[in-house]
Chain A
Amino acid sequence: MMRPLFVLPLAGFALLLLLFAAGLYTQLSGSRQPDQLPSMLVGQLPPDRPLPGLNAEPPRRLLDASRGDWLLVNFFASWCAPCRAEAPALASLSEKMTIIGIAYKDKPLDTQKFLNQFGNPYRRIGVDLDGKAGLDWAIYGVPESFLLAPDGRVVLRHAGPVDRALLEDIEARLETGR
């Protein structure tokens, strides 16, 4: 009659340990990335707030003209170090698909300097000086990238620099078309 009282806490503790171990394992093995928050935009048509251009062109919608293609929307800024790190990946990707850049809270002159230095992989660039577009897209840092399918819906969101895994994923999607 007393047995379960002694065994139960132990069993509970063991269960907890198992839970922790499983959590650690999934995180270390990369199958769960706690820094990748789920995006509500996946499966949705993203917002397309008109944004001014780098040379003070009047605000325009960036996505309209490219419907029917795979699109990568990339939030970046000259002040963001990881954005420099992802420049080569974006450059190689720009040969295969259209990339739209949104300069997040960045002065156009600085953005221009950044592009001169690290190359310009973007078909079109919108200037999001006050971060409103960032709020629309619910980004929580730069760089952040969204892959849009030809129907205009968001397929995936990636926080952080574009890395090899993402490149491979995108390339596979381009090939299979889904």
Chain B
Amino acid sequence: MKRAGFATVTGLTRGLAVLLFSLMLWQAAPLQALSPEEILSDPQLEERARALSKELRCLVCQNQSIDDSDAPLAHDLRLEVRQLLGDGLSDGEVLDRLQQRYGDYILLSPPLRPATYALWLAPLVILLLAGLLARYNWRPPDKTGPNPQRADPDAARSDLGAQTTGRPARFGAPLLFSLMLAGGLGLAGLIYATLGRPDLPDSPFAARQAEREQAAIEARQMQANFGAQLEQAEAAAKANPQAVTSWLDLAMAAAAAGKADIEMDALAKALQLTGPNAAILAMQAEALSRAADGQITAPARQIIARALKLDPDEPRALFLTGMAAWQDEDFAKAAEIWQQVLQAAPPGAPWRGRVRENLQMAADRAGIALDLPDAAEQAEMIEQMVAGLAERLRDTPEDTEGWLRLARSLEVLERPEQAFEALAGAAKSAPGETGLAIMALEKLLIITPDPDQLVLAGQLADQLLTQAPDRLEGLFFKGHILRLSGETQAARQIWQKLLARMPADGQAARLLQAELAKLPE
């Protein structure tokens, strides 16, 4: 009886996890793997292409070179340059070819021709003028003698006097002017040197290539990860074809890897085992919709209807109904349904935020004012619920689902110590489920347990070791608990036993060895 009850419990929590996960998938953009198809295999040609690209203007952005620009036209032009180079044209011929087609404007440095004489020669002319002006105004004082206009009767008294009184008056203004000019030029030069110099590192398209490739590699790794998980899940499902959970695991892994057909197959298998089941039907509907780019298609809607007939409160089916209403542009209905989902959702459910967001959008589109409890009220609500639940569980400690709900709520309230106790309660209520004990024990790694909690943890570890002696986690946590209790010697023995059973060169073994080394003698 207890076992049967527990199967539906894990079914529900698993369902919620899948729901959260698939909600994330829903929003995720397709992975973009940029293929470096632009880059020529011949490094010399590629270098020439890069150099040429820096000389060519992107006609869309107009002040960027095609090397810098992300515009599609710049991409086309980069390819064109590479193709022309590949055809054996010289750099000059490539530039000529493009100039013939696009005009001078495509060249970032304009060519010298009658129309551009002014552009090219103006600086020289200005420099020349400035030189002339300077020559005209600046004369050495010893050649001119005292300025007749400035000369006063006393000037004749001494040469020194004439020089000291004459100089500031004559040269003050030009000096000031030249200083200002020099200062301005210096400032301009400084700005140019720090910001505008062409050889400064910029972030041209090709330089970001490395970044893009990194992103592509990460995306591929993620994909490979998903693939590996999928293979594992497939093997597990084949090894244990009578377990609903293994098929659901497979469905989740397939969804993550984007394999809709495997996901649908796995869900169908799970459904065969359970018979009509609202949660699994809803997952099927969702898989169908995801395969249709998120459109809640007619077949998906039929399945949702069947799920809701079985269980009118099935959260995923309800959520999808809201989605369908949204896609029908019946925003009021969508808002109504999502509000219902939100109200039925357990306070700690991680997907609440997403539903709330959707609800807000739907309400905005429908022009409805929302009356949602604010954060403080919500926290209050959770507090009360948690207190009530904890109270109730004292009388019904065999209620695994209750313990798990309590743990989730405490998690939301960021009370990991209490969440550990709740998870321990769940594990004790279902001794056969080794996963629950491990879940609880994993909390030990983030909390500082008090002596009572250490005792509780020790019990869990022993339970785990008797239930599943072949699981290495039991040994690890046993050692961890012993270390926390100060029994270093015993901890070392346990961990050494564990180390002997681990693959010697694995990362886990190395980590454990490091931990062992840290144990005080």
- Which residues does A use to contact B, with CB under 8 Å? 1-2, 4-6, 8, 37-40, 105, 131, 134-136, 138, 140-141
Contacts and interface: CB of A to CB of B under 8 A. Distances in A.
Given A105-B72, A135-B77, A140-B60, A40 B174 contact: no
B415 to A, nearest CB: 53
A140 B177 CA distance: 47
Given A37-B105, A39-B103, A40-B102, A140 B174 contact: no
Nearest to A12: B126
6 contacts: A2-B173, A5-B137, A40-B100, A40-B101, A135-B77, A140-B59
Nearest to A38: B103
B76 interface: yes
Nearest to A131: B76
A5 B101 contact: no
Contact of B174 (A5, A37, A39): A5
A40 B103 contact: yes
Contact residues of B: prevailing secondary structure: helix
Contacts of A105: 72
Interface of B: 59-60, 72-73, 76-77, 80, 100-103, 105, 133, 137, 173-174, 177
Contact of A138 (B60, B102, B137): B102
Nearest to B76: A131
A136 B59 contact: no
A112 B238 CA distance: 48
5 shortest interchain CB distances as A-B pairs:
A140-B59, A138-B101, A138-B102, A40-B103, A131-B76
Nearest to A140: B59
Contacts of B174: 2, 5
A8 B177 CA distance: 12
Scoring B102, B103, B173 by chain A CB atoms within 10 A of each residue's CB, the highest score goes to B102
Given A4-B133, A105-B72, 10 more contacts: A2-B137, A5-B173, A5-B174, A5-B177, A37-B59, A40-B100, A131-B72, A135-B77, A140-B60, A141-B60
Contacts of A8: 133
A1 B137 contact: yes
B88 to A, nearest CB: 19
B76 A136 contact: no
A7 B173 CA distance: 13
Contacts of A134: 76
Nearest to A159: B59
A37 B72 contact: no
Contact of A5 (B60, B102, B103, B133): B133
B76 to A, nearest CB: 5
A33 to B, nearest CB: 14
Nearest to B129: A8
Scoring B59, B60, B77 by chain A CB atoms within 10 A of each residue's CB, the highest score goes to B59
A154 to B, nearest CB: 13
A4 B177 CA distance: 12
Given A5-B177, A105-B72, A141-B60, A136 B137 contact: no
A177 B174 CA distance: 65
Contact of B73 (A2, A4, A39, A140): A140
Contacts of B80: 135
A147 B279 CA distance: 64
Nearest to A41: B101
A114 to B, nearest CB: 19
Nearest to B177: A5
Contact of B103 (A2, A4, A37, A135): A37
Nearest to B139: A1
B166 to A, nearest CB: 14
A8 B133 CA distance: 10
A43 to B, nearest CB: 13
A4 B102 CA distance: 45
Contacts of B59: 37, 140
Contacts of B101: 40, 135-136, 138
A132 to B, nearest CB: 8
A4 B129 CA distance: 12
Contacts of A5: 133, 137, 173-174, 177
Contacts of A1: 137
A138 B77 CA distance: 10
A135 B60 contact: no
A40 B99 CA distance: 9
Contacts of B72: 105, 131
Contacts of A140: 59-60, 73
Contacts of A40: 100-103
A43 B80 CA distance: 24
A40 B97 CA distance: 12
Nearest to B61: A140
A140 B102 CA distance: 10
A33 B98 CA distance: 23
Contacts of B100: 40
B148 to A, nearest CB: 12
A96 to B, nearest CB: 30
B105 A135 contact: no
Contacts of B103: 37-40, 138
B143 to A, nearest CB: 15
A153 to B, nearest CB: 16
Contacts of A4: 133
Contacts of B73: 140-141
B26 to A, nearest CB: 25
